[in-house]
Amino acid sequence: MSVSPLEDRYKTEMNAIFEKQAHLSAWMKVEVALAKAHAKLGHIPKEAPADIEQAAEKVTIEEVERIEAEIHHDLMAMVKVLTSKCKKYGGFVHYGATSYDIEDTATALVFRDAISLIEQRIDELKSILKKLALANKKLVCVGRTHGQHAVPLTYGMKFAVYYCELQRHEERLKEAKRRISVGKMSGATGTMATFGRSGERVQELVMKELNLEGAKITNQVIQRDRHAEVMAVLALIACTLEKMAKEIRNMQRPEIGELSEPYESKQVGSSTMPHKRNPHKSERICSLARILRANVLVALENISLEHERDLTNSANERYIFPSSFITLDYMLKQTQYILWGLQINKEQISHNLELTKGLFLAERVMITLTKKGMGRQEAHELVRVCSQEAYSKGIHLQKVLEANKECKKLLSLHELKELFDPSTYIGQAEKLVEKSVKE
């Protein structure tokens, strides 16, 4: 029976990258690469790598865990099992290496694969957002600042903003991927002493085999600022997904009703209230984002290990690495699902544009009065006072302005009417959307 929801409820293709077998396979790749490097340099028989590589295919998780239970060291348990599987050259397994030469280099391989999957998901999500942005670039809606009605914009702009944010995350992820795709083969304190004068060459050959960069200098471990950077970028992506989900949740409130996440025919919203259509998928995304943010704090704590290293990073990394990657992958897939089936209520959007009886276009009136010759501050005060009157009396701002002597001197009734058409006060919205999503 599974304990973690990552094993069932939130399971994705990312699980395969972090499962025990995949981790063991990554260790094997590094051990084989090390043997090949030694053979090229003449440190071990040229036949040894093939023997070790064939033996690696026979190593099982069960055997490694059985040995680990006896010796309390997971990587050394792997070394023992791998050595026992070799026909002749088992004595050259792990030659000159320390545990974290293998562990950290293998982690780089795992991270590289995991980041590649996240990159794929972001591309897919961007494609959906681009379609939504272009399809709704002219769909005028009321803007909201401080939770209050502001000047209008278009729904296309909302989606384009998310698109550009994800684009920046792609750039961050690319940089983080480059900096995490680094391995080490430098021994117990980073001096490469066990490899003698060939130390740099050994590391170079191992990393070439694995298509990684070799760290310029390390202590016993790859420095954890690299891993913390990746965790931070994953959390940033999660925050953008939360931002989208929170907007959908708020827009799905009955008193707003402009958006709704997909709702399937047999879906149940509440065990006691049959009518409920809760935005639970969006709420779930907001909930899971908190985990990724929390994991960043742990990753930052891991940077300041004692002296040449201690073991305080090891246990928590077994949690935070798979947790962040799997959770984010699930969130990305869920966001894709929500946006593909997103329901946009145009009738309610139009209704909400009229809720404040023209107050949200007060800025436009002020700017127009200024263009007509009234001072900017004077125009602001005039429209502010008229807005307060319209609000207190519950009447349309246009009606109050029509009766204002100063306003009538500068604006005709026809001009005032035109000013209160929100579809003509969206500035460069359409062009901004098109420009933003253009690759």
Just list the catalytic residues: 146, 270
Strand partners, 149: 144
Closest to 238 (Cα-Cα) out of 302, 310, 173: 173
Token duo for residue 60: 């099982």
* Burial degree of 144 (CB within 10 A; 0-12, 13-18, 19+): middle
> Do 391 and 359 meet the contact criterion of CB atoms below 8 Å apart?
yes
Cβ partners under 8 Å of residue 215, min gap 6:
182, 183, 184, 186, 222, 223
- DSSP 8-state class, residue 425: -
Q: At residue 422, what is the residue type?
A: P
Backbone angles phi, psi at 168, to 5 degrees: -65, -35
Q: 210-236 as b/e, with b when 16 or more CB fall inside 10 Å?
A: bebbbbeebbbbbbbebbbbbbbbbbb
Closest to 167 (Cα-Cα) out of 216, 237, 257: 237
Closest to 184 (Cα-Cα) out of 64, 104, 262: 104
> Do 305 and 312 meet the contact criterion of CB atoms below 8 Å apart?
yes
Token duo for residue 98: 């320390």
Token duo for residue 42: 């003449």
Element (H, E) at 319: helix 314-340
| Terminal alpha carbon distance of the chain | 46
Beta strands per DSSP E along 157-276: 182-183, 213-214, 259-260
The HSE-up count of residue 76 (CA atoms within 13 Å, CB side) is 7
